Amino acid sequence: MRVAVIGGTEFIGRRVVERLTERGDEVLVIHRGHTEPADLPPCAHLHVDRRDFASVADQVRAFAPDAVVDSYALSRADVDAVLPHLPDVHLVLLSSVDVYRVWELLLADDDTPTPLPLDETAPLRTGRYPYRGRGAGLDDYDKLDVEPAYLARGGTVLRLGMVYGPHDQQRREEPVLRRVRAGRTRIPVGSAGTLLTRLHVDDAAGGVLAALDRPAAARGEVFNLGESVTYSMRSWLKLVLAAAGHEAELVRVPDDLVPADLGLTRNLAQHVLYTSGRAETLLDWRPADPLASIAASVRWHLDHPPADASTDFTEDEQALDGGAAPAVAHRR
């Protein structure tokens, strides 16, 4: 196939490009040129800011793609800048499970009963711009502004869970691994009982390939992609520690003492647990064993520690000194 990938040099888009080229597809990576990984497989590159996509539309059409993968449409402005200029081919959009109502309830600390697991018919958020005002630079982010336009063009929408793995800019394992590197043997956590469905980046890329290979089943459809097994936060922390070959006690502390970077271990109002049965049935997509995926991801991140990793454990010391829950309370 000939596939144009918008984004494609960082994390999920990068792995999509790698998987496509590995199997012999011809790829055009369309990106700003800010990131040029030395180890990205050989393929054509087209540099343009997304806002100026119209200026390269003729070059994209000249590539004559069979499909276009948009890995980085975050807002309505992102859609308006690109979608009108894409050729009439199979479109695949990377979206997020944060479009569901349960995510809105989670952010609002609202424990309204929610049927689980979520499938693609689950209620969507009633509010918009979930991260506006949270200081993440995502004030205009909302996949609910992105999905409808792609679906109207017959595109495929892939709603991804909490993606982790090599080159993850959010470094999901870092709250544990920075303590591993420092040799910490006691880690303060909350109840850590929340269930959050995750997805390894290789499985995310595999979902894109599955959608591209089955256009008849995928066009105009929405699919959740997540691992087949979901671990509680406590179990996930233990799996990360085991993969790192490090022994540490997870010490239960009150929620108000949990360090900020371990905030997901607090008693959260909602689980985000969803099913990918539709993708498995219609796209013949299968995620890998999460135990192997977690171990591989941890090894990569141990080998590639962040240059700005925090070595400040003041919050840990305060939590461990100021209110570890008594053993009896923990057993309850």
Ordered DSSP codes for 38-94: TTSPS-EEEE--GGGGGGGHHHHHHH--SEEEES---SHHHHHHHGGGS-SSEEEEE
Q: What SS3 class is residue 164? A: strand
- Over residues 190-209, mean pLDDT: 98
In angstroms, rounded to a whole number, what is the distance separating the alpha carbons of residues 117 and 147? 22
| pLDDT tens column, 261-290 | 999 999 999 999 999 999 999 999 999 999
At residue 322 the predicted structure's pLDDT band, cuts being 50, 70 and 90, is confident
Residue 319 has pLDDT above 50, yes or no: yes
- The answer to whether 306 touches 242, Cβ cutoff 8 Å, is no
- The answer to whether 69 touches 5, Cβ cutoff 8 Å, is yes
- Name the pairing type of β-strands 156-160 and 186-189: unpaired
- Over residues 199-215, mean pLDDT: 98
In angstroms, rounded to a whole number, what is the distance separating the alpha carbons of residues 66 and 87? 9
Q: How many helices (H) and strands (E) does the chain have?
A: 13, 11
Residue 192 has pLDDT above 90, yes or no: yes
Residue 128 has pLDDT above 50, yes or no: yes
Residue 325 has pLDDT above 60, yes or no: no
At residue 321 the predicted structure's pLDDT band, cuts being 50, 70 and 90, is very high
Two tokens at 103? 């995510």
Q: What letter does residue 143 receive in the DSSP assignment?
A: G
In angstroms, rounded to a whole number, what is the distance separating the alpha carbons of residues 227 and 162? 10
Residue 328 has pLDDT above 90, yes or no: no
- Over residues 253-260, mean pLDDT: 97
At residue 323 the predicted structure's pLDDT band, cuts being 50, 70 and 90, is low
What's the CA angle centered on 45, arms 40 and 49, to 5 degrees?
Answer: 115
Those residues whose C-beta lies under 8 Å from the C-beta of residue 39, and which sit 6 or more positions away, are none
In angstroms, rounded to a whole number, what is the distance separating the alpha carbons of residues 191 and 233? 9
Question: Dihedral, CA atoms, 285, 290, 294, 295, nearest 10 degrees?
Answer: -110
- Over residues 257-264, mean pLDDT: 97
Residue 330 has pLDDT above 60, yes or no: no
| pLDDT tens column, 212-244 | 999 999 999 999 999 999 999 999 999 999 999
- Over residues 28-54, mean pLDDT: 94
Those residues whose C-beta lies under 8 Å from the C-beta of residue 296, and which sit 6 or more positions away, are 165, 200
CA distances (Å), origin 256, targets 9, 161, 188, 265: 39, 27, 11, 11
Question: What's the pLDDT score for residue 136?
Answer: 81
Whose tokens are 């800011």? That residue is 49
Question: What's the pLDDT score for residue 146?
Answer: 98
Question: What's the pLDDT score for residue 329?
Answer: 38
Question: What's the pLDDT score for residue 129?
Answer: 97
| pLDDT tens column, 52-110 | 999 999 999 999 999 999 999 999 999 999 999 999 999 999 999 999 999 999 999 99
Closest to 274 (Cα-Cα) out of 71, 16, 98: 98
In angstroms, rounded to a whole number, what is the distance separating the alpha carbons of residues 49 and 2? 22
In angstroms, rounded to a whole number, what is the distance separating the alpha carbons of residues 299 and 318? 30
- The answer to whether 266 touches 257, Cβ cutoff 8 Å, is no
Residue 292 has pLDDT above 90, yes or no: yes
The more confident residue out of 34 and 99 is: 99
In angstroms, rounded to a whole number, what is the distance separating the alpha carbons of residues 185 and 317? 12
Question: What's the pLDDT score for residue 34?
Answer: 87
Closest to 191 (Cα-Cα) out of 291, 93, 266: 266
Question: What's the pLDDT score for residue 331?
Answer: 35
| pLDDT tens column, 134-189 | 888 899 999 999 999 999 999 999 999 999 999 999 999 999 999 999 999 999 99
Distance from the first to the final alpha carbon of the chain: 57
Question: What's the pLDDT score for residue 137?
Answer: 86
In angstroms, rounded to a whole number, what is the distance separating the alpha carbons of residues 27 and 43? 6
